Amino acid sequence: MIRVSWPRHWVYLSLNMKYKMIFFDCDGTLWESVDGDYISSVVSGLRRLGENTIARLSDGKVFYLKKNVRKLMESLFNEGACIGIVSDNISGPVMEAIFLFGLEKYIDQEAINVRLWKGHCRKDQMILEILAKKKFQSVPREKIVLVDDKDYEQELKKIGVGYINSEKLFIVK
């Protein structure tokens, strides 16, 4: 049982009883900037400023890993969960940020779907594309969840996948 605190809520993720595959969004979920900027809004290299802080090289914009993200991912990974990334973003900056924050060791490289959408992002479709891979076809849909700062609950319900609002899990350090 993993317990992650939030000032207003206690959220429990029990892998043995509930989820075997957990997808995370990135901007606003795993990390954020002071003014809500997206990591790939300016295509630029990144540099690490500290364990939980990175910055874009082009404009110095700083992004902070939210509190408890690394701890939660490590716990989920150690309990045998498959961790994936589903993000409406340009892939390069997202993958670089994941590496600089030291999260890559917890994420299954085959469970990543990062691309920039024109218009409304279809996270349900992005998840289905990952689940179509032979490796993931046997994972029961009720054992899969997306953690995101935007509400995709209705879309995900149609494909039998759960949803958790990231604000119930993480806060900025």
Domain boundaries, the chain: 15-26+66-172
Phi first, then psi: give them for residue 160, nearest 5 degrees: 80, 20
**Ranges of the chain with pLDDT below 50:** 1-12, 14-16, 171-173
Per-residue confidence (pLDDT) for residue 46, from 0 to 100? 97
Per-residue confidence (pLDDT) for residue 170, from 0 to 100? 56
Per-residue confidence (pLDDT) for residue 18, from 0 to 100? 81
Instruction: List pLDDT tens digits, range 39-74.
Output: 999 889 999 999 999 999 999 999 999 988 998 899
Per-residue confidence (pLDDT) for residue 83, from 0 to 100? 96
Per-residue confidence (pLDDT) for residue 36, from 0 to 100? 86
Per-residue confidence (pLDDT) for residue 62, from 0 to 100? 96
Q: Which CATH architecture has domain 15-26+66-172?
A: 3-Layer(aba) Sandwich (3.40)
Across the chain, where does the E strand assignment appear? 2-6, 9-13, 21-24, 31-33, 46-50, 53-56, 62-67, 82-88, 112-115, 144-148, 162-165, 171-172
